[in-house]
Amino acid sequence: MSESSFNLISEKCDILSILCDHPENRIYQRKIQELSKRFSALRKTKGDGNCFYRALGYSYLESLIGNSREILRFKERVLQTPKDLLAAGFEEHKFRNFFNAFYSLVEMVEKDGSVSNLLKVFNDQSFSDRIVQFLRLLTSAFIKNRADFFRHFIDEEMDVKDFCAQEVEPMATECDHVQITALSQALNIPLQVEYVDEMDTALNHHVFSEAACPSVYLLYKTSHYNILYATDKVG
């Protein structure tokens, strides 16, 4: 499936289908074969600099379908996020539209429970980008509100406020460990990232937050994130 054959998030496909992406790369081929023992499928995301936020948002909301207890818990958390944004110095009129879009999507998942409708919404560029912008602002707010902690993980030449203004809030800016940690904690979403970059010959992964049981699995390669689906054997 080529990137041009889908909009922002693809239909689910067999994980081995991406072997053809890099047929000459033996390390990549071996890692995907290894992953196929623990993951059965994936969805591709568009490489537009927003792939992490879009992948996390879609995958977690999809995982909530049919789980009314978790949806209620998540709704309560989302309803608290305007306070976090205000505490970080964001003016309400600058985030209210993005918050409303995200909250309406959570309500849709609760009432509708349709994977096809959720996918349709995430592939609507305008609506999907509002979701991404909300997640970016929330990530920024979480970092700012815990500046004493996060400043240790940011380039010494840049303060927390500048980091958020340049590396978190603008659309199409790629994310790193700091942003992933912040957003997963801000929304209490445990996720596991599988790394298949050429930087290491061994397959490795990281769980955010440690010791948590992941609700979301993402595949990382060369600054890009796709959505993974675990088999029953994945612990």
CA distance 128 to 7: 11
**Residue pair 90/141 in contact by the 8 Å Cβ criterion:** yes
Residues involved in catalysis: 48, 51, 224
- For residues 218 and 194, the answer to whether their CB atoms sit within 8 Å is yes
Q: Is there a contact between 160 and 144 (Cβ–Cβ < 8 Å)?
A: yes
Helix, strand, coil percent values for the chain (each to nearest 5): 55, 15, 30
The 191-195 sheet, strands edge to edge: 13-14, 39-43, 224-230, 216-221, 191-195, 204-208
Give the span between the Cα atoms of 41 and 15, in whole angstroms: 4
Helix (H, G, I), strand (E, B) or coil at 195: strand
Give every CB contact of residue 44 below 8 A, 6+ residues apart in sequence: 1, 3, 6, 9, 10, 13, 18, 226
